[in-house]
Amino acid sequence: MEPSAPSGGKVHPVAPEAQFPRYDFFRKHDPQLEQRRQLAVGLEACRRGWASRLGAMLYRTELSLSCRLQQGQPELGSLLCFGMEHEQQGQMRPSAWLLIEQSTLYQLAEMSFGGTPVQGREDKARPISETERRLGSSLLTLFATNLVAQFLLNAGPGRVGMAASVPDLSAVTLVSIDIDCAGQRLSWQLALPVLLNPEPVKQEQAALGVQLSGVLNERLPQLTNRLRVSLAEFELPLGQLPLLQEGDILPIHLLQETRARVGEQPVLKGRVAEQQGMLVFASHGFID
C-alpha cells in the first residue's frame, strides 16, 4: 500500500535564506552560580567530618550539625567577627570570616571545658576573653580551611585572628551553620568573600566574547546535519537467520510513527508519507 499524503504538512527544502534563531553562547556561563553549586557539594562532603571534630572539641557525642547556603544578610547586632587571610599573588587577602554572637561563643567555651550551656546566662556586654578568641579562631579554621582550599588552589599559607570589623556582607556567600546539643540550638555564619567575587573579565576579553558569539551565530546556519529516518522494521526468528540466502525477499511494513535523528539524538517525531510523487517525512512535533 502506498503511503498517503500528509494533511496540512509542509515540505521544507534546504534554502540559503532560511532564518536561524540567534543564540547567546555565553549566557549560561555564570561563575557565581557555578561556585554556589560547588560550595553546596563541598558543604555536604565536609558536614560529617565537621560534626565529628566539633563533638570531640566540645565533649559531646550527641551533637548534630547542619549547614546551608543562606540568602539575605543576618542581623549584625553584637556579632563578633573572626577573619582568615590567605596569600594571593603576593598579597594577603581576606578568604573567610566567622560571624558569631558572643553569647553563643560563651556557651561553646563552657562546653569545651565540659560544662552544660544555659540559654540566656551570658547576656551582659563584656570584653571577649582569650579563651573565646582562641575558640573563635579554631571554629573558623575548622569550617573554612577545606572550603577555601577548593577555590584558592594556589594560595599561600593563611592566618586567622579576630577581625577589626564586620565585612560588607552584600559581597559574600553566607553559610549558616547550626548545631543541636544538650537540648539547644546554637548558630553562626561563615562568610566566604572569594566565592562571589571572581576576577572581573577584562574589557578586551568581553569584546572578544561578543565577537566570537557573532561569528558563531553567522556560521552555524551554514552547517549541514544528516537526519536519519527509519522507514520500516520487522522481526525474524533467530533460527531463521542462518537460513537466509542472497535474493531472499522479506516482507516489511512501514512504521506508523518514526523519528528523525541527528546522529543518535532524536529531534522530530512523525511518519513517512507521499507528497507529489515522492516520499516525505511528515513531522508532527519536536522531541524534548
Per-residue burial over 8-37, b if 16 or more Cβ lie within 10 Å, else e, is ebeeeeeeeeeeeeeeeeeeeeeeeeebee
| Total residues found in the chain within this entry | 288
pLDDT digits (tens, 9 = 90+) for 97-121: 999 998 899 888 888 887 776 665 5
- 10-52 pLDDT, tens digit each: 545 544 555 556 656 555 556 667 777 888 888 888 888 999 9
DSSP 115: -
225-272 pLDDT per residue, tens? 788 888 888 788 888 888 888 888 888 777 888 888 888 888 888 888
Residue 148 confidence (pLDDT): 81
Per the confidence metrics, is the pTM higher than 0.85? Answer: no
Residues 6+ apart with CB under 8 A from 287: 259, 266, 267, 268, 269
* Separation between Cα atoms, residue 264 and residue 252, nearest integer Å: 23
Q: In the numeric block, which cell numbers belong to residue 192?
A: 566566604
Q: Indicate the average pLDDT of the chain.
A: 78
Instruction: Give the Cα separation of 156 and 79 in Å (integer).
Output: 29
